[in-house]
Amino acid sequence: MRPRAMTKLTFGAAAAATLGLLATLAPTADAHQPSGHKPELRRIGYFTQWGIYGRNFQVKDLETSGTAAKLSHINYAFGVIGSDGKCLMGNAPGSDPWADYVRPVDAATSVDGAGDTADQRLAGNFNELRELKAKNPGLKVMISLGGWTGSAHFSDAVRTDAGRKTLVASCIDTYIKGNLPVDGARGGAGAAAGIFDGVDLDWEWPGSDGAPGNVIRPEDKPNFTKLVREFRTQLDAYGRSLPKPQRKHYELSAYVPTAPAKIDAGFEVAKIMRDFDFVNLQGYDFHVSGEKTTAQQSALFAKNDFSVDQTVKAWLRRGAPAHKLVVGMPFYGQGWTGVTGGGDGLGQPATGPAPATWVAGSEDYKHLKKLADSGTYKLHRGYRNGHAWLFDGTNLWTYDDPTVLRTKASYVRQHGLGGAMVWSLDGDTPDGELITAIDRGLTGR
Protein backbone atom coordinates (compact mmCIF):
# COMPACT_ATOMS: atom_id res chain seq x y z
CA MET A 1 0.00 0.00 0.00
CA ARG A 2 1.29 3.42 -0.80
CA PRO A 3 1.96 5.55 2.27
CA ARG A 4 -0.68 7.92 3.58
CA ALA A 5 2.04 10.59 3.52
CA MET A 6 1.36 10.64 -0.22
CA THR A 7 -1.97 12.39 0.23
CA LYS A 8 -3.73 15.60 -0.82
CA LEU A 9 -1.73 17.74 -3.23
CA THR A 10 1.67 16.16 -2.65
CA PHE A 11 3.06 12.76 -1.77
CA GLY A 12 5.11 14.00 1.19
CA ALA A 13 8.12 11.93 2.21
CA ALA A 14 7.42 9.24 -0.33
CA ALA A 15 10.91 7.98 -0.98
CA ALA A 16 11.63 7.44 2.70
CA ALA A 17 8.21 6.04 3.45
CA THR A 18 8.09 3.55 0.62
CA LEU A 19 11.36 2.00 1.80
CA GLY A 20 9.36 0.44 4.62
CA LEU A 21 6.82 -0.97 2.19
CA LEU A 22 9.17 -3.63 0.88
CA ALA A 23 7.21 -6.27 2.67
CA THR A 24 3.46 -5.70 2.68
CA LEU A 25 0.63 -8.05 1.75
CA ALA A 26 -1.41 -10.64 3.51
CA PRO A 27 -3.73 -13.50 2.69
CA THR A 28 -7.43 -13.47 3.19
CA ALA A 29 -9.90 -16.21 3.69
CA ASP A 30 -13.36 -16.82 5.02
CA ALA A 31 -14.66 -20.01 6.46
CA HIS A 32 -17.88 -18.22 7.28
CA GLN A 33 -19.20 -17.76 3.77
CA PRO A 34 -22.57 -19.29 2.96
CA SER A 35 -22.46 -22.94 1.94
CA GLY A 36 -22.36 -23.42 -1.81
CA HIS A 37 -20.28 -20.25 -2.30
CA LYS A 38 -18.17 -20.54 -5.42
CA PRO A 39 -14.97 -18.49 -5.35
CA GLU A 40 -14.71 -16.04 -8.22
CA LEU A 41 -11.86 -13.90 -9.46
CA ARG A 42 -11.97 -10.56 -7.71
CA ARG A 43 -11.01 -7.26 -9.30
CA ILE A 44 -10.20 -4.81 -6.52
CA GLY A 45 -9.16 -1.20 -6.96
CA TYR A 46 -8.10 1.32 -4.32
CA PHE A 47 -9.73 4.73 -4.63
CA THR A 48 -7.72 7.37 -2.79
CA GLN A 49 -9.67 9.93 -0.80
CA TRP A 50 -7.12 12.64 -1.67
CA GLY A 51 -7.05 11.90 -5.41
CA ILE A 52 -9.91 14.37 -5.93
CA TYR A 53 -7.52 17.25 -5.27
CA GLY A 54 -4.26 17.49 -7.22
CA ARG A 55 -5.02 14.66 -9.62
CA ASN A 56 -8.66 15.71 -9.99
CA PHE A 57 -9.62 12.03 -10.09
CA GLN A 58 -13.30 11.76 -9.21
CA VAL A 59 -15.58 8.80 -8.54
CA LYS A 60 -17.32 9.67 -11.82
CA ASP A 61 -14.11 8.86 -13.68
CA LEU A 62 -14.58 5.22 -12.71
CA GLU A 63 -17.84 5.23 -14.66
CA THR A 64 -16.78 7.24 -17.72
CA SER A 65 -13.59 5.18 -18.16
CA GLY A 66 -15.49 1.90 -18.02
CA THR A 67 -13.45 0.89 -14.96
CA ALA A 68 -16.39 0.39 -12.59
CA ALA A 69 -17.88 -2.27 -14.86
CA LYS A 70 -14.61 -4.24 -14.63
CA LEU A 71 -14.33 -4.10 -10.82
CA SER A 72 -15.82 -6.35 -8.16
CA HIS A 73 -14.64 -4.17 -5.26
CA ILE A 74 -13.52 -0.63 -4.54
CA ASN A 75 -11.35 -0.17 -1.46
CA TYR A 76 -11.73 3.38 -0.14
CA ALA A 77 -8.44 4.63 1.30
CA PHE A 78 -8.36 5.35 4.17
CA GLY A 79 -10.36 5.20 7.37
CA VAL A 80 -8.52 6.58 10.39
CA ILE A 81 -7.78 4.88 13.72
CA GLY A 82 -7.38 7.60 16.36
CA SER A 83 -5.20 7.78 19.45
CA ASP A 84 -8.29 6.84 21.48
CA GLY A 85 -8.38 3.46 19.77
CA LYS A 86 -11.51 4.14 17.72
CA CYS A 87 -12.43 4.75 14.11
CA LEU A 88 -12.95 8.46 13.82
CA MET A 89 -13.64 11.29 11.43
CA GLY A 90 -12.65 14.87 11.98
CA ASN A 91 -9.79 16.34 13.94
CA ALA A 92 -7.08 13.78 13.23
CA PRO A 93 -4.23 13.46 10.72
CA GLY A 94 -5.46 11.79 7.55
CA SER A 95 -9.14 12.36 8.26
CA ASP A 96 -10.94 14.47 5.67
CA PRO A 97 -14.72 14.60 6.19
CA TRP A 98 -14.91 17.30 3.51
CA ALA A 99 -13.76 14.86 0.87
CA ASP A 100 -15.68 11.95 2.34
CA TYR A 101 -19.21 13.31 2.73
CA VAL A 102 -19.40 17.10 3.12
CA ARG A 103 -18.08 18.48 -0.20
CA PRO A 104 -20.86 19.41 -2.64
CA VAL A 105 -20.32 17.73 -6.02
CA ASP A 106 -21.64 19.60 -9.03
CA ALA A 107 -23.71 18.07 -11.83
CA ALA A 108 -20.77 17.84 -14.25
CA THR A 109 -18.73 15.86 -11.74
CA SER A 110 -21.53 13.70 -10.39
CA VAL A 111 -22.01 10.06 -11.35
CA ASP A 112 -25.75 10.50 -11.87
CA GLY A 113 -25.51 13.95 -13.49
CA ALA A 114 -27.30 15.74 -10.64
CA GLY A 115 -25.46 18.18 -8.40
CA ASP A 116 -25.56 17.88 -4.62
CA THR A 117 -27.98 20.16 -2.80
CA ALA A 118 -27.40 22.10 0.40
CA ASP A 119 -29.82 20.00 2.43
CA GLN A 120 -28.42 16.55 1.50
CA ARG A 121 -27.31 14.52 4.50
CA LEU A 122 -24.66 12.82 2.36
CA ALA A 123 -22.48 14.41 -0.31
CA GLY A 124 -18.83 14.10 -1.37
CA ASN A 125 -17.13 10.83 -2.28
CA PHE A 126 -19.48 8.71 -0.20
CA ASN A 127 -22.58 9.87 -2.06
CA GLU A 128 -20.80 9.41 -5.39
CA LEU A 129 -19.92 5.85 -4.41
CA ARG A 130 -23.58 5.26 -3.61
CA GLU A 131 -24.51 6.51 -7.08
CA LEU A 132 -21.77 4.38 -8.68
CA LYS A 133 -23.12 1.26 -6.96
CA ALA A 134 -26.62 2.06 -8.21
CA LYS A 135 -25.27 2.06 -11.78
CA ASN A 136 -23.19 -1.07 -11.25
CA PRO A 137 -25.21 -3.70 -9.35
CA GLY A 138 -22.91 -6.16 -7.63
CA LEU A 139 -20.07 -3.66 -7.14
CA LYS A 140 -18.91 -3.69 -3.51
CA VAL A 141 -17.19 -0.93 -1.57
CA MET A 142 -14.85 -1.67 1.35
CA ILE A 143 -13.47 0.82 3.84
CA SER A 144 -9.71 0.36 4.15
CA LEU A 145 -8.50 1.14 7.66
CA GLY A 146 -5.01 2.45 8.38
CA GLY A 147 -2.48 2.79 5.59
CA TRP A 148 1.24 3.46 5.79
CA THR A 149 0.99 6.65 7.84
CA GLY A 150 -2.30 5.68 9.45
CA SER A 151 -1.18 2.58 11.36
CA ALA A 152 0.41 4.27 14.38
CA HIS A 153 -2.37 3.44 16.85
CA PHE A 154 -3.26 -0.14 15.93
CA SER A 155 -0.90 -1.81 18.40
CA ASP A 156 -2.18 0.20 21.38
CA ALA A 157 -5.81 -0.20 20.35
CA VAL A 158 -5.78 -4.00 20.16
CA ARG A 159 -3.79 -4.91 23.29
CA THR A 160 -6.85 -5.96 25.28
CA ASP A 161 -10.13 -7.70 24.55
CA ALA A 162 -12.01 -4.56 25.61
CA GLY A 163 -9.87 -2.43 23.30
CA ARG A 164 -10.49 -4.71 20.33
CA LYS A 165 -14.24 -4.74 20.95
CA THR A 166 -14.29 -0.94 21.20
CA LEU A 167 -12.27 -0.44 18.03
CA VAL A 168 -14.35 -2.85 15.95
CA ALA A 169 -17.66 -1.51 17.24
CA SER A 170 -16.63 2.07 16.44
CA CYS A 171 -15.61 1.14 12.88
CA ILE A 172 -18.85 -0.71 12.24
CA ASP A 173 -20.82 2.19 13.70
CA THR A 174 -19.11 4.77 11.49
CA TYR A 175 -18.82 2.93 8.19
CA ILE A 176 -21.19 -0.05 8.12
CA LYS A 177 -24.06 1.55 10.03
CA GLY A 178 -23.11 4.90 8.49
CA ASN A 179 -23.42 7.03 11.62
CA LEU A 180 -21.40 10.09 10.65
CA PRO A 181 -20.55 13.19 12.67
CA VAL A 182 -22.96 16.04 11.98
CA ASP A 183 -21.44 18.81 9.87
CA GLY A 184 -24.09 21.40 9.04
CA ALA A 185 -26.77 19.57 7.07
CA ARG A 186 -24.44 16.64 6.42
CA GLY A 187 -24.04 13.49 8.44
CA GLY A 188 -26.01 12.08 11.33
CA ALA A 189 -27.38 8.65 12.20
CA GLY A 190 -27.44 6.30 9.21
CA ALA A 191 -26.37 8.96 6.72
CA ALA A 192 -23.87 6.59 5.05
CA ALA A 193 -25.76 3.34 5.64
CA GLY A 194 -25.53 0.88 2.76
CA ILE A 195 -22.40 2.29 1.15
CA PHE A 196 -19.77 0.00 2.64
CA ASP A 197 -20.00 -3.75 2.19
CA GLY A 198 -17.06 -4.69 4.37
CA VAL A 199 -13.75 -3.78 5.98
CA ASP A 200 -10.19 -3.98 4.66
CA LEU A 201 -7.48 -3.96 7.35
CA ASP A 202 -4.35 -2.10 6.30
CA TRP A 203 -2.19 -2.31 9.41
CA GLU A 204 1.40 -1.76 8.25
CA TRP A 205 2.76 -3.77 10.05
CA PRO A 206 1.85 -5.88 13.08
CA GLY A 207 5.05 -6.96 14.83
CA SER A 208 7.50 -5.24 12.46
CA ASP A 209 8.61 -1.82 11.29
CA GLY A 210 6.25 0.39 9.36
CA ALA A 211 6.22 4.19 9.29
CA PRO A 212 8.74 5.81 11.65
CA GLY A 213 7.34 6.22 15.16
CA ASN A 214 4.80 3.39 14.99
CA VAL A 215 4.50 1.32 18.15
CA ILE A 216 5.56 -2.29 17.56
CA ARG A 217 5.15 -5.17 19.99
CA PRO A 218 5.86 -8.91 19.73
CA GLU A 219 2.28 -9.52 20.89
CA ASP A 220 0.98 -7.70 17.81
CA LYS A 221 0.98 -11.07 16.05
CA PRO A 222 -1.55 -12.85 18.31
CA ASN A 223 -3.43 -9.59 18.84
CA PHE A 224 -3.89 -9.18 15.10
CA THR A 225 -5.44 -12.66 14.97
CA LYS A 226 -7.81 -11.67 17.79
CA LEU A 227 -8.64 -8.41 16.01
CA VAL A 228 -9.54 -10.27 12.84
CA ARG A 229 -11.74 -12.66 14.86
CA GLU A 230 -13.47 -9.71 16.54
CA PHE A 231 -14.19 -8.04 13.21
CA ARG A 232 -15.56 -11.31 11.82
CA THR A 233 -17.74 -11.83 14.89
CA GLN A 234 -19.21 -8.33 14.98
CA LEU A 235 -19.69 -8.06 11.21
CA ASP A 236 -21.52 -11.38 11.15
CA ALA A 237 -23.67 -10.42 14.12
CA TYR A 238 -24.65 -7.11 12.53
CA GLY A 239 -25.38 -8.74 9.17
CA ARG A 240 -27.69 -11.25 10.85
CA SER A 241 -29.43 -8.56 12.89
CA LEU A 242 -30.82 -6.78 9.84
CA PRO A 243 -34.40 -7.32 8.68
CA LYS A 244 -34.58 -10.50 6.60
CA PRO A 245 -34.55 -8.92 3.13
CA GLN A 246 -31.49 -6.85 4.07
CA ARG A 247 -29.41 -9.54 5.78
CA LYS A 248 -25.99 -9.93 4.25
CA HIS A 249 -22.46 -11.19 4.62
CA TYR A 250 -20.08 -8.28 5.22
CA GLU A 251 -16.67 -9.05 3.77
CA LEU A 252 -13.36 -8.82 5.61
CA SER A 253 -9.97 -8.51 3.94
CA ALA A 254 -6.45 -7.23 4.63
CA TYR A 255 -3.41 -5.87 2.88
CA VAL A 256 -0.43 -8.08 3.72
CA PRO A 257 3.35 -8.08 3.12
CA THR A 258 5.67 -9.84 0.73
CA ALA A 259 8.74 -10.28 2.96
CA PRO A 260 8.76 -13.64 4.77
CA ALA A 261 10.24 -11.95 7.86
CA LYS A 262 7.28 -9.57 8.06
CA ILE A 263 4.78 -12.35 7.47
CA ASP A 264 6.26 -14.40 10.29
CA ALA A 265 6.51 -11.43 12.65
CA GLY A 266 2.88 -10.40 12.39
CA PHE A 267 0.57 -13.02 10.89
CA GLU A 268 -0.70 -16.37 12.17
CA VAL A 269 -1.61 -17.28 8.63
CA ALA A 270 -3.64 -20.46 9.07
CA LYS A 271 -5.74 -18.87 11.83
CA ILE A 272 -6.50 -15.52 10.24
CA MET A 273 -7.35 -17.01 6.88
CA ARG A 274 -10.35 -18.77 8.42
CA ASP A 275 -11.91 -15.37 9.12
CA PHE A 276 -10.83 -13.43 6.03
CA ASP A 277 -12.78 -13.55 2.81
CA PHE A 278 -9.53 -12.76 1.00
CA VAL A 279 -6.24 -10.93 1.43
CA ASN A 280 -4.47 -8.51 -0.91
CA LEU A 281 -0.82 -9.46 -1.36
CA GLN A 282 1.79 -6.77 -1.71
CA GLY A 283 2.89 -7.02 -5.32
CA TYR A 284 4.92 -3.82 -5.64
CA ASP A 285 7.53 -1.66 -3.90
CA PHE A 286 9.85 -4.66 -3.87
CA HIS A 287 12.52 -2.02 -4.55
CA VAL A 288 12.03 1.73 -4.33
CA SER A 289 13.62 4.89 -5.64
CA GLY A 290 15.23 5.69 -2.30
CA GLU A 291 17.65 2.82 -2.83
CA LYS A 292 21.11 3.51 -4.29
CA THR A 293 20.84 0.94 -7.08
CA THR A 294 18.14 0.55 -9.70
CA ALA A 295 16.00 -2.59 -9.47
CA GLN A 296 12.60 -4.05 -10.33
CA GLN A 297 9.71 -2.93 -8.15
CA SER A 298 7.01 -5.46 -9.09
CA ALA A 299 8.39 -8.45 -11.01
CA LEU A 300 6.21 -11.51 -11.42
CA PHE A 301 9.32 -13.71 -11.33
CA ALA A 302 12.80 -12.91 -10.01
CA LYS A 303 15.84 -14.93 -9.03
CA ASN A 304 17.06 -14.40 -5.46
CA ASP A 305 14.81 -11.39 -4.99
CA PHE A 306 11.30 -10.44 -4.00
CA SER A 307 8.64 -11.20 -6.61
CA VAL A 308 4.93 -11.84 -6.97
CA ASP A 309 5.56 -15.56 -7.41
CA GLN A 310 7.73 -15.65 -4.28
CA THR A 311 5.04 -13.80 -2.30
CA VAL A 312 2.27 -16.18 -3.38
CA LYS A 313 4.37 -19.22 -2.49
CA ALA A 314 5.30 -17.74 0.90
CA TRP A 315 1.63 -17.38 1.85
CA LEU A 316 0.69 -20.78 0.46
CA ARG A 317 3.46 -22.49 2.44
CA ARG A 318 2.10 -20.93 5.63
CA GLY A 319 -1.40 -22.28 5.10
CA ALA A 320 -3.27 -19.68 3.03
CA PRO A 321 -5.82 -21.10 0.57
CA ALA A 322 -4.93 -20.14 -2.99
CA HIS A 323 -8.43 -18.88 -3.81
CA LYS A 324 -8.18 -16.29 -1.03
CA LEU A 325 -4.93 -14.75 -2.29
CA VAL A 326 -5.46 -11.62 -4.38
CA VAL A 327 -2.34 -10.34 -6.15
CA GLY A 328 -1.52 -6.63 -5.82
CA MET A 329 -0.50 -4.81 -9.01
CA PRO A 330 0.79 -1.23 -9.36
CA PHE A 331 -0.63 1.53 -11.52
CA TYR A 332 2.55 3.58 -10.94
CA GLY A 333 6.29 3.19 -11.28
CA GLN A 334 9.46 3.70 -9.23
CA GLY A 335 12.17 5.82 -10.85
CA TRP A 336 15.86 6.72 -10.50
CA THR A 337 18.03 9.43 -12.03
CA GLY A 338 21.79 9.74 -12.49
CA VAL A 339 22.00 6.11 -13.55
CA THR A 340 25.48 5.07 -14.65
CA GLY A 341 27.08 1.83 -15.77
CA GLY A 342 25.50 1.48 -19.19
CA GLY A 343 23.59 -1.54 -20.45
CA ASP A 344 19.83 -1.52 -19.94
CA GLY A 345 20.18 0.46 -16.70
CA LEU A 346 18.87 -2.19 -14.33
CA GLY A 347 21.07 -3.07 -11.37
CA GLN A 348 23.17 0.07 -11.81
CA PRO A 349 24.09 2.83 -9.35
CA ALA A 350 21.93 5.98 -9.31
CA THR A 351 22.18 9.38 -7.68
CA GLY A 352 18.59 9.58 -6.45
CA PRO A 353 14.87 9.47 -7.27
CA ALA A 354 13.89 10.59 -10.77
CA PRO A 355 11.93 13.83 -11.30
CA ALA A 356 8.17 13.19 -11.46
CA THR A 357 4.78 14.90 -11.55
CA TRP A 358 3.92 14.64 -7.84
CA VAL A 359 6.99 13.50 -5.98
CA ALA A 360 10.43 12.47 -7.16
CA GLY A 361 10.76 8.74 -7.68
CA SER A 362 7.07 7.86 -8.07
CA GLU A 363 5.01 8.36 -11.22
CA ASP A 364 1.51 7.38 -12.36
CA TYR A 365 1.26 5.01 -15.31
CA LYS A 366 -0.61 7.55 -17.42
CA HIS A 367 2.50 9.76 -17.32
CA LEU A 368 4.92 6.88 -17.85
CA LYS A 369 2.94 5.91 -20.94
CA LYS A 370 3.79 9.32 -22.41
CA LEU A 371 7.46 8.71 -21.71
CA ALA A 372 7.26 5.31 -23.37
CA ASP A 373 5.64 6.88 -26.44
CA SER A 374 8.05 9.81 -26.60
CA GLY A 375 10.84 7.98 -28.39
CA THR A 376 13.34 9.18 -25.77
CA TYR A 377 13.14 6.07 -23.62
CA LYS A 378 13.74 2.46 -24.60
CA LEU A 379 11.31 -0.14 -23.26
CA HIS A 380 12.85 -3.28 -21.74
CA ARG A 381 11.12 -6.43 -20.54
CA GLY A 382 12.18 -8.88 -17.88
CA TYR A 383 11.86 -12.57 -17.24
CA ARG A 384 8.79 -14.06 -19.00
CA ASN A 385 7.28 -10.57 -19.50
CA GLY A 386 6.87 -10.35 -15.73
CA HIS A 387 8.08 -6.76 -15.46
CA ALA A 388 9.08 -3.79 -17.59
CA TRP A 389 11.27 -0.73 -17.35
CA LEU A 390 12.08 2.41 -19.32
CA PHE A 391 15.63 3.75 -19.67
CA ASP A 392 16.93 6.82 -21.48
CA GLY A 393 20.57 6.46 -20.46
CA THR A 394 20.15 8.57 -17.32
CA ASN A 395 16.66 7.97 -15.92
CA LEU A 396 15.08 4.58 -15.29
CA TRP A 397 11.45 3.78 -14.47
CA THR A 398 10.31 0.30 -13.44
CA TYR A 399 6.57 -0.24 -13.81
CA ASP A 400 3.76 -2.48 -15.09
CA ASP A 401 2.32 -1.83 -18.55
CA PRO A 402 -0.67 -3.62 -20.13
CA THR A 403 1.51 -6.50 -21.34
CA VAL A 404 2.87 -7.14 -17.85
CA LEU A 405 -0.53 -6.82 -16.20
CA ARG A 406 -2.15 -9.21 -18.62
CA THR A 407 0.65 -11.72 -17.94
CA LYS A 408 0.14 -11.36 -14.19
CA ALA A 409 -3.63 -11.71 -14.47
CA SER A 410 -3.15 -14.88 -16.51
CA TYR A 411 -0.85 -16.17 -13.75
CA VAL A 412 -3.63 -15.52 -11.22
CA ARG A 413 -6.14 -17.44 -13.31
CA GLN A 414 -3.82 -20.34 -14.10
CA HIS A 415 -2.76 -20.80 -10.47
CA GLY A 416 -6.25 -20.74 -8.99
CA LEU A 417 -5.67 -17.54 -7.04
CA GLY A 418 -8.36 -15.14 -5.85
CA GLY A 419 -7.98 -12.25 -8.26
CA ALA A 420 -6.16 -8.95 -8.76
CA MET A 421 -5.91 -5.77 -6.68
CA VAL A 422 -4.55 -2.44 -7.92
CA TRP A 423 -3.00 0.55 -6.22
CA SER A 424 -4.34 2.91 -7.22
CA LEU A 425 -7.13 3.58 -9.70
CA ASP A 426 -6.11 7.19 -10.35
CA GLY A 427 -2.90 6.05 -12.07
CA ASP A 428 -4.70 4.54 -15.07
CA THR A 429 -5.40 6.26 -18.38
CA PRO A 430 -8.76 8.01 -18.94
CA ASP A 431 -9.95 5.05 -20.99
CA GLY A 432 -8.94 2.44 -18.40
CA GLU A 433 -6.11 0.85 -20.34
CA LEU A 434 -4.60 -1.00 -17.37
CA ILE A 435 -7.81 -2.30 -15.80
CA THR A 436 -8.85 -3.57 -19.24
CA ALA A 437 -5.59 -5.53 -19.54
CA ILE A 438 -6.18 -7.12 -16.13
CA ASP A 439 -9.77 -7.95 -17.00
CA ARG A 440 -8.69 -9.66 -20.21
CA GLY A 441 -5.99 -11.64 -18.43
CA LEU A 442 -8.40 -12.81 -15.73
CA THR A 443 -11.02 -13.90 -18.25
CA GLY A 444 -8.56 -15.42 -20.73
CA ARG A 445 -9.80 -13.25 -23.58
**Is-contact 262 14, C-beta < 8 A?**
no
Distance of CA 72 to the CA centre of its chain: 14
Q: Residue 260: left (phi > 0), alpha (psi -120 to 50), or beta?
A: alpha
Distance of CA 403 to the CA centre of its chain: 22
The secondary structure element, H or E, covering residue 134 is: helix 124-135
**Is-contact 39 229, C-beta < 8 A?**
no
| From 204, 251, 291, 363, active-site residue | 204
- Contacts by 410-414, CB closer than 8 A, 24 or more apart: 410/441, 410/442, 410/444, 411/300, 411/308, 411/309, 411/327, 412/41, 412/327, 412/441, 412/442, 413/41, 413/441, 413/442, 413/443, 413/444
Q: Could you give the CA distance from residue 240 to residue 235 in angstroms, rounded to a whole number?
A: 9
- Contacts by 375-379, CB closer than 8 A, 24 or more apart: 378/344
SS3 371: helix
Q: Would residue 131 show up in a list of annotated catalytic residues for this protein?
A: no
**Is-contact 386 301, C-beta < 8 A?**
yes
Task: Name the CA radius of gyration of the chain, rounded.
Answer: 21
* Catalytic sites, residue numbers: 204
